[in-house]
Structure formats: structure tokens, C-alpha cells
């Protein structure tokens, strides 16, 4: 009995002790968990508050007002304002550093603005063909420039060697500086020199080998256009050969081209073997036979169409692949492209007269004995055509093919017939 009573006495005490230890362990682990959780949260929170307070402190330092010498506070010292003169692209600007860390730029009288952009670029450069075409394809979205400028006509000469009628062209351009640009693409092997006083001096562009009737002829035309497009003032583009001559004076030709609402690209459908007979069915479906056109390669176009031609990556690759040899892509590529996409703004005629009446693969050539006053008058007003919705008898501004033997006769008629100044 005593043992039983003793067990009854011990059991409650033991249970109380065990319950106390259990609560102690639970409390201990609870505190450990709370401490650990707080420690984990506290570390990133501490870094965050440190960075925030640091930034706020720096902002307060910047935003503190200026204090006078009698102020009871001690604001951070600021450097004494200095006037710094810097040279940027050879032009000087005065930059004043103010006490509130703001900079005021005072432009001097030599401010350049867009002067570098407006300068006519050099004809010779080291751009690759791909770089050149990419650069020339850029078009501003704002149509009205923030400056006054005079539109120019770009005269682009595609030649084998020397310009046969260079003295005649010299007289044509004389007194009209600022209204024209000149670009010459000659064979890379040509090593002729041009006098520094000539309008053709320094106007030769980087060139590659060109062969008659091959696609590199079109590539040369595109390169001429691309180089001319680098100068934003060029608004009209005329492709000429070394045997071309002007039929009128500069003011007449300039006014005619600048004021025209149309492009002048000869494009017609010729059903015989030298027309449709050159079409390659492999060009379908991009170019269909009904869209195929033929025409003179000597064109006169506006800037918008010039950009489209140098930017074309759809049609020209097809012509390079399927219009080779006797296809003569220079007579078909641009006429067909314009017929497909830009026919509404095209007059379907060229402004360059040439005589095909004798037949054959080449037009007639004219020597000194062929050049007479009646002959030139006949070319200048031999027909009527439409110009800006009106009928006119000025349908040709240029003519070819004239040899070097015709130069003296042409110069003798320059004043009376062509009315050069």
C-alpha cells in the first residue's frame, strides 16, 4: 500500500517536471526561429535603408539653397564658377558652369549648325558599293528643311574615258555655279588628267569595270545616282554619255527639269525579238511579259525615283540573274521597274535625242561635217510633246552621239543656236 501511495505522490510531480521542460524547449525553439527569421529579413532591409538614406542625403546636399556668409549653417563648399572654352569640330562655343551645376551654351559667331551636313560631299571616297547604296537610300521624314537651299540638277556622265565635248560643257556651265553638280564615272583604267580650273576637276567617282550590254552598266548607273543623292540639294538627275551635248543653254534646261512634274524615262512595249524577245520567263511571277518594257538608258528623273532605284533589292537581283548577254539590262531594267511601280509619274519619253534611223545595234554618229545650223535647229524643235499638261516644241534637251571632230563646229554654234551666254 505504501508503495502505491508513494507512486501516486511521485507521478504528478514527474509529470509537472516533464511539462515544464517541454514548454521550455518549445519556447527556446520559438525564439530561435523568430531570431533567425528577423536576421534573414534584417540583412537586406539594412542594405536597402542604407542605400535609400545615402541617396536622400545626396539629394538634400544638391537641393540645399545657397547660404550667405552670416548663415549659422555650414553648407558644402561648391567650386567657383569657371568659363571653359572648348573646340568642337573646329568651331568654338563658350560653356559657362553655373553654381547650380547648370550649363549655359553661348554660341559664337562661328556657329556651324548644319554647315557640315550641307557641304557638297567629295566625289571620291572609300565607301563600298553596299555602304554607298545604304547611305544614299536615307530619306528625311520631315519634308521641309529648317534652312533655305537652292535645288540643283545633277549631271552624271557615264564614260569610257575622256569627255569628248568637255569644252562645250564648260561653256554650258559657266556662270551657273550653285545650280548644278557633276559626277563622272569612267573606266578604272582611264588615267586622264583634268585641269584644276575645269568644272570637271575632282568630280570623278569610284568606278568599276563596265562593259556594254552587261549588268555592270546598270550597277554603274546606280552608283552615279547614289553618289549624287549624297548631296541633298540635288533634286533632278540626268544621265549622260561622253558623246552627249546640250541643245539649249543652262537656264532653259535647268528651268525645264526643276519645274517638271514628271520623270523622263523612255518605256515602251516592243513585240519583236529586240523587245519581248529578250524577256526570260524565269522572271515570273515578279516580272511578267506584259510588264516588260524597253527604252533608252539616258534618263532624267527626280530625287524620289532616284532613291527608289538605288534602294531596289527586289527587281534588280532578278535582272542580274536572268537578264544577261544579249538581254541588255540597261535598256530594260529601269523602264520595266518604272512601268511596274512608278508609271503614274513617268512621261514615257527621254529628253536625249538619238538617231536610230539607219538601223543596227548602234545609233548614228555625227562628225564635224554633219553639224550645221539647220541640223541643230531641227533637233531642237523637230516635234511637239506634252510638258506639265501643255503642248511644247521643246522635247529634247540633249543629243548624242557626237564625236570629238564635231567639237569646233558645236562651239561655233553655241552662242547663236544654243544661246549660251
Cα radius of gyration (the chain): 41
Domain boundaries, the chain: 79-108, 127-137+148-413
* Per-chain mean pLDDT for the chain: 82
Give the least confident one: 10-24, 369-383, 393-407.
Answer: 10-24
pLDDT in the model for residue 361: 78
The pLDDT tens digits for 115-152 are: 777 777 889 999 999 999 999 999 988 988 888 889 99
CA 241 – CA 345 distance, rounded (Å): 24
Phi then psi dihedrals of residue 313, to 5 deg: -120, 10
The pLDDT tens digits for 73-118 are: 333 433 433 333 333 333 333 333 333 444 444 455 678 888 777 7
Contacts of 90 (CB under 8 A, 6+ apart): 112
| Predicted confidence (pLDDT) at residue 10 exceeds the cutoff of 90 | no
- Give this prediction's pTM: 0.74
> What is the mean predicted confidence (pLDDT) over 44-64?
48
CA 392 – CA 406 distance, rounded (Å): 28
Query: How many residues are present in the chain?
Result: 421
The pLDDT tens digits for 187-240 are: 999 988 899 999 999 999 999 999 888 899 999 999 999 999 999 999 999 999
Angle between helices 303-311 and 215-229 (to 10 degrees): 130
Residue 66 in grid coordinates: 545657397
CA 246, 247, 252, 253 dihedral sign is negative
Per DSSP, what are the bridge partners of residue 264? Answer: 300
Strand pairing class (385-387; 390-392): antiparallel
CA 77 – CA 271 distance, rounded (Å): 89
CB 71, CB 63: distance < 8 Å: no
Amino acid at each position: 500500500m505504501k508503495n502505491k501511495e508513494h507512486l501516486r505522490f511521485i507521478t504528478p510531480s514527474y509529470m509537472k517536471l516533464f511539462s515544464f521542460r517541454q514548454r521550455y524547449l518549445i519556447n527556446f525553439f520559438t525564439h530561435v526561429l523568430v531570431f533567425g527569421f528577423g536576421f534573414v529579413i534584417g540583412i537586406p532591409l539594412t542594405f536597402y535603408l542604407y542605400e535609400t538614406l545615402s541617396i536622400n542625403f545626396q539629394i538634400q546636399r544638391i537641393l540645399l539653397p545657397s547660404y550667405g556668409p552670416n548663415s549659422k549653417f555650414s553648407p558644402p563648399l561648391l567650386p567657383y564658377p569657371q568659363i571653359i572654352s572648348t573646340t568642337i569640330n573646329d568651331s568654338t562655343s563658350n560653356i559657362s558652369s553655373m553654381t547650380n551645376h547648370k550649363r549655359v551654351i553661348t554660341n559664337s559667331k562661328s556657329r556651324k549648325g548644319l554647315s557640315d551636313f550641307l557641304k557638297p560631299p567629295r566625289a571620291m571616297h572609300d565607301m563600298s558599293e553596299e555602304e554607298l547604296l545604304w547611305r544614299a537610300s536615307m530619306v528625311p521624314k520631315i519634308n521641309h528643311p529648317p534652312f533655305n537651299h537652292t535645288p540643283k540638277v545633277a549631271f552624271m556622265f557615264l564614260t569610257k574615258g575622256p569627255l569628248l565635248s568637255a569644252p562645250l560643257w564648260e561653256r554650258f556651265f559657266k556662270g551657273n555655279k550653285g545650280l548644278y553638280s557633276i559626277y563622272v564615272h569612267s573606266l578604272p583604267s582611264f588615267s586622264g588628267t583634268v585641269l584644276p580650273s575645269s568644272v570637271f576637276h575632282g568630280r570623278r567617282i569610284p568606278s568599276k569595270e563596265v562593259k556594254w550590254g552587261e549588268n555592270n552598266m546598270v550597277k554603274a548607273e546606280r552608283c552615279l545616282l547614289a553618289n549624287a543623292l549624297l548631296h541633298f540639294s540635288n533634286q533632278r538627275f540626268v544621265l549622260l554619255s561622253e558623246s552627249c551635248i546640250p541643245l539649249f543653254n543652262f537656264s532653259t534646261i535647268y528651268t525645264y527639269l526643276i519645274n517638271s512634274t514628271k520623270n523622263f524615262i523612255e518605256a515602251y512595249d516592243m513585240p519583236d525579238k529586240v523587245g519581248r524577245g529578250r524577256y526570260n520567263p524565269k522572271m515570273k511571277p515578279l516580272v511578267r511579259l506584259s510588264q516588260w518594257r524597253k527604252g533608252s538608258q539616258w534618263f532624267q528623273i527626280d530625287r524620289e525615283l532616284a532613291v527608289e532605284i538605288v534602294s531596289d533589292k527586289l527587281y534588280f537581283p532578278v535582272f542580274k540573274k536572268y537578264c544577261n548577254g544579249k538581254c541588255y539590262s540597261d535598256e530594260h531594267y529601269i523602264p520595266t521597274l518604272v512601268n511596274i511601280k512608278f508609271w503614274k509619274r513617268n512621261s514615257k519619253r527621254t529628253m536625249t535625242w538619238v538617231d536610230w534611223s539607219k538601223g543596227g545595234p548602234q545609233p548614228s554618229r555625227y562628225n564635224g561635217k554633219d553639224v550645221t545650223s539647220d541640223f541643230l535647229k531641227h533637233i531642237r524643235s523637230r516635234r511637239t510633246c506634252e510638258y506639265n499638261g501643255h503642248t511644247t516644241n521643246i522635247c529634247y534637251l540633249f543629243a548624242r552621239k557626237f564625236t570629238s571632230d564635231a567639237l569646233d563646229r558645236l562651239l561655233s554654234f553655241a552662242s547663236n543656236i544654243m544661246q549660251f551666254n
